[in-house]
Structure 1
Amino acid sequence: MRMSRALTLLACGTAAAAMFPVQPARAQSVPPETAKTGEAGTLSTQAPPGIRPAKSQARPAEAMPGGRPGPADLPQNIRWTEDWSKKPDADAPLLEKIKHLPIAGDDIYLTLGGEARVYYTDWHHARLGLSANDSNNPVQTRLRLLADLHVGPNLRAYLELGDNREYGESFATGPNRDKLDIYQAFVDVTVPLGDAGKITLRPGRFEMPLGNGKLAGVREGLNMRFTYQGVRATYILPGKVSVDVFAVKPILIDPGTFDDGPNHAQDFHGVYISAPNRIAGFGTDIYWYEMERDRATLAAGVGKDDRNNWGGRLWKRGPHWDLDLEGTHQSGRFIGKEIDAYGAMFEGGYTFGDAPMKPRLGLRANYFSGDKDLADNKVSTFVPAAARLPLISEAAFFSFSNLMDLYPSVTVKPTPAITVMAGPDFLWRASKGDGVYIGPSGSSFAPYDSSRRIGTDLNLEASWQATDRLAFRLWETYFAASDSFQDNGGKSGNYFGLMANYKF
């Protein structure tokens, strides 16, 4: 019954997209999001988080103010990185003409666009037994309308409205429910410095992925991505270095109309520096940022959390090998206790680019520390600022706290537009003294003394980039709980997801 419902929804999404004049996907077109499948990616030399470009594609976008735009005339995952500066032909379809509406010459123009997404999700034991009645099978709908005004190369104003609904749910998911509201609204003012680069100041409300988007991501799996309100300044010396400084507050989502605003119980600020190809051809990132929360929930208690993140990253992607290695240390105070936590993330793989279906053998390994003694005066539980939870799987069963995983995977491309990935993800607790943390809420199972083994995610993902604008994706994750996890209240679970997404 649920599968039949999902196929009906997918057919409806296809029919809706067919109402728009679309062209077949081009060779350089941006494929659907694949970073969640374990493929390495960066914002500094690759596409925005969740998009891996085809090898034939031109240099992709940088998801930062003043950064390099994406390939011309193609939709991007981070919409304000798109490049529609070229005036369309006189006989172009309407949806191409609205991407460049001249106001005063070719340098002053308005871009209009949007997104329509339908996402059927079916969780069996979404919280893996942490609470009763935890199965859910809602349908998410996301609608976006955007206007992007360019006044010459150094001034722009961007506005994006969003409407987000959830249907058929057994229990509500907050970020899925937000009626018509201002999703993004900002102004970019760029000061060119000649050979010394440029500086861009961005005040307003905006998406703000950092680095590879793992610890500060976009939350693509739900209707509402992470957005922030405040100010961001970026210095870029093209091809050499970028320095990003920000002071923002996360947006607090209220389900009504035009009622979202900054969350004054949280504060997020820091510096992120990225230098491509600086060490033996590797890109190098270093960063510090601080997330202050008036209230956080861990096994050690509930209260104020002031957490500094100090980290570095090496990354490289060639025609065959790709590698992304990141380490971060957390300090600060939680409920008056000293924080001493850390995380390490590795992704790598080898692509047989000349073989049929271009198979890629990949390996991902993560370590996020946990607390060894909840009663002492030190807190070692790792807590990310804005985690991309589908790093573990699209099901997002687990948070990045007290967790280790090892994920070998195989990815194949039966056609240039279709990608299939599969593999087992083996999961453990980092410390027996801490619990198993479920989803983004911070809720956890109580610590237990038996095996640290949690279980195994069996993952399958398939995506089809039907056209430059239309994509379909399918996910299946079965979580097989270990005996020790089940003996302490945990359960096995299953997730199925089917998405149709159209960007115009």
Structure 2
Amino acid sequence: MRSPRALTLLACGTAAFAFQPAFAQSVPPESVKTDETGTLATQAPPGVRPARSQPRPAEAIPGGRPGPAGLPQNIRWTEDWSNPAAADDPLLVKIKHIPIAGDDVYLTLGGEARAYYTRWHRSSLGLRANDDNDPLQSRLRLLADLHVGENLRAYLELGDNREFGEQFATPPNRDKLDVYQAFVDVALPLGKAGKITFRPGRFEMPLGNGKLAGVREGLNMRFTYQGLRATYILPGKLSVDLFAVRPVQIDPGTFDDGPNDAQVFHGVYLSAPNRIAGFGTDLYWYEFKRDRATLTAGVGRDERNNWGGRLWKRGPRWDIDIEGTYQSGSFINKDIRAFGAMFEGGYTFGDAPMQPRLGLRTNYFSGDRNPADGKQGTFVPAAARLPLISEAAFFSFSNLMDIYPSITVKPIASITIMAGPDFLWRARKGDGVYIGPSGSSFAPYRSSRSIGTDFNLEASWQATDRLAFRLWETYFAASDSFQANGGRNGNYLGLMANYRF
């Protein structure tokens, strides 16, 4: 898995911070801020693109609301090119809406070219020796999206992913030409009762705000899954998303990726906008099974049920997102009793120069109190959006709590800058400090819970609707107690250029 990356990104300019449905925290590039999924900062649907204007964000679910017409989106299958006149570039007009049998049957072509330079000093913060790394990632994508009326669609996306100049390899950065996404959508209209869309195939699948099940935007290869997804939508009132999938196993050769038979992911996610005092309400259950997981308590089979709920709201000034999750199941014959709690909110001074936003994010992810008591209290997310802590991704979500006050400003409409300190602690002294997404950890120690502080700076420039530049800088200052037990200071720099057409 990938070595740490630190900082979440900002851009789109109003509200807060987030990786999925309907809300926005510091809003994504362009008009707000973006998270790993590139969706609206605090909680706009995962399909949201960092854009200067964000009328109604896309919904990254089969049959969901597409993004604004004629604009590239972070989740590419949420784009809307049904109107040939929507493209403002003569070349794009020719490839974004190619009529095959009238305007109802058309083909869209597109792609992406991304270069991302990252430089870590002590990527594992002292857990391993020789852990400096400064690779240059290159991501290339080509896509074809065939629409046959309103109820049938076929989508294909090819990808090529390389890594140059690295001191050690990051597997999700390496995958020669392969099928990145390939699925069919078949919709069943139910009249006033809404519609059901069935999606078999291989696809990206961020859930909710994308914090616990995101897309892994910081690496060349996002999380993708193979299986079946079915979504019922009653517009403006309810969506019910059911899925039974396996994560795609990334192999570095050409056309050699396939489902990972050692992992299973299935569940249901319900979302209802404006249900409680104007708040959106999400409820979900899903189970993630791994034949092999690594925690301080050992290595073995891990089967986790996740039961959770979320309240979220975004206004012109205030934004808020609250989520809680309880985990049950078993890890190497130990009963799992773990939980996570996440809060993010902020206030935007929309009439003031540079539209400053004062934000606060705080999280608690449980650790194991006593490794010898026959229970497992360490929280483990299904597919974490690690930039929730920082783009450097020095830490995983296990046995961690943090408080992150921030300020966001927009010097001009296309530029967003966010900065602030993120204070980090262990949730339990009986558990270790978990580094990155691999499960590797420092051994438990009995001194202070303080781990240290991330000092974060994030900036994004949406130069055009299709071209964006982003910068992340995180300096981690280790606490005295963490240093006394082997921890070290670290630093991360990230520079990204991304073009979508």
Which category describes the TM-score, using the shorter chain as reference length?
over 0.9
CA, structure 1 residues 166+280, in 2 after alignment: closer, same or farther (shift >3 Å)?
same
Structure 2 residue matching 1:415: 3-state secondary structure = coil
TM-score by length of 1: 0.92
Query: Which position in structure 2 is the counterpart of 1:386?
Result: 383
CA, structure 1 residues 382+91, in 2 after alignment: closer, same or farther (shift >3 Å)?
closer
Structure 1 residue matching 2:387: 3-state secondary structure = helix
Question: Are residues 1:57 and 2:58 paired?
Answer: no
Structure 2 residue matching 1:370: 3-state secondary structure = coil
Query: Which of residues 35, 40, 46 is equivalent to 1:48?
Result: 46
The Cα shift of 1:35 comes to: 2.7
Find the aligned partners of 1:50 and 1:372 in 2 and give their Cα distance.
39
Query: Which of residues 84, 88, 93 is equivalent to 2:85?
Result: 88
Find the aligned partners of 1:422 and 1:89 in 2 and give their Cα distance.
36
Question: Are residues 1:345 and 2:362 paired?
Answer: no
Question: Are residues 1:35 and 2:35 paired?
Answer: yes
The Cα shift of 1:375 comes to: 1.1
Query: Which of residues 249, 254, 266 is equivalent to 2:251?
Result: 254
Find the aligned partners of 1:48 and 1:317 in 2 and give their Cα distance.
15
Q: Structure 1, residues 294-343: CA drift from partner, whole Å, max 9, x if none?
A: 00000011000000000000000000000000000000000000000000
Find the aligned partners of 1:149 and 1:52 in 2 and give their Cα distance.
25
The Cα shift of 1:350 comes to: 0.1
Aligned letter for 1:453?
S
Query: Which position in structure 1 is the counterpart of 2:107?
Result: 110
Find the aligned partners of 1:52 and 1:324 in 2 and give their Cα distance.
19
User: Contact conserved, 1:32 with 1:465, CA < 8 A, in 2?
Assistant: no
Query: Which position in structure 2 is the counterpart of 1:357?
Result: 354
Question: Are residues 1:269 and 2:258 paired?
Answer: no
Query: Which position in structure 2 is the counterpart of 1:469?
Result: 466
The Cα shift of 1:39 comes to: 7.6
Find the aligned partners of 2:320 and 2:87 in 1 and give their Cα distance.
45
Structure 2 residue matching 1:98: 3-state secondary structure = helix
Query: Which position in structure 1 is the counterpart of 2:179?
Result: 182
User: Contact conserved, 2:39 with 2:50, CA < 8 A, in 1?
Assistant: no
Aligned letter for 1:261?
G
Query: Which position in structure 1 is the counterpart of 2:170?
Result: 173
The Cα shift of 1:112 comes to: 0.1
Find the aligned partners of 2:145 and 2:340 in 1 and give their Cα distance.
38
CA, structure 1 residues 403+92, in 2 after alignment: closer, same or farther (shift >3 Å)?
closer
Find the aligned partners of 1:249 and 1:353 in 2 and give their Cα distance.
43
CA, structure 1 residues 188+91, in 2 after alignment: closer, same or farther (shift >3 Å)?
closer
Find the aligned partners of 2:48 and 2:187 in 1 and give their Cα distance.
27
Query: Which position in structure 2 is the counterpart of 1:367?
Result: 364
Question: Are residues 1:415 and 2:437 paired?
Answer: no
Aligned letter for 1:34?
T
Q: Structure 1, residues 352-372: CA drift from partner, whole Å, max 9, x if none?
A: 000000000000000000001
Structure 2 matches for 1:66-215, cutoff 5 A?
A: 66-88=63-85, 93-215=90-212
Which structure has more RCO (C-alpha within 8 Å, separation ≥ 6)? 2
Query: Which position in structure 1 is the counterpart of 2:487?
Result: 490
Structure 1 residue matching 2:96: 3-state secondary structure = coil
Query: Which position in structure 1 is the counterpart of 2:424?
Result: 427
Query: Which position in structure 2 is the counterpart of 1:322?
Result: 319
CA, structure 1 residues 465+89, in 2 after alignment: closer, same or farther (shift >3 Å)?
closer
Structure 1 residue matching 2:360: 3-state secondary structure = strand
Aligned letter for 1:300?
A
Q: Structure 1, residues 412-453: CA drift from partner, whole Å, max 9, x if none?
A: 000000000000000000000000000010000000000000
User: Contact conserved, 2:40 with 2:48, CA < 8 A, in 1?
Assistant: no
Find the aligned partners of 1:357 and 1:461 in 2 and give their Cα distance.
16
User: Contact conserved, 1:226 with 1:386, CA < 8 A, in 2?
Assistant: yes
Q: Structure 1, residues 30-53: CA drift from partner, whole Å, max 9, x if none?
A: 5586235998533xxx34267566
Query: Which of residues 436, 443, 448 is equivalent to 1:451?
Result: 448
User: Contact conserved, 2:30 with 2:416, CA < 8 A, in 1?
Assistant: no
Aligned letter for 2:216?
R
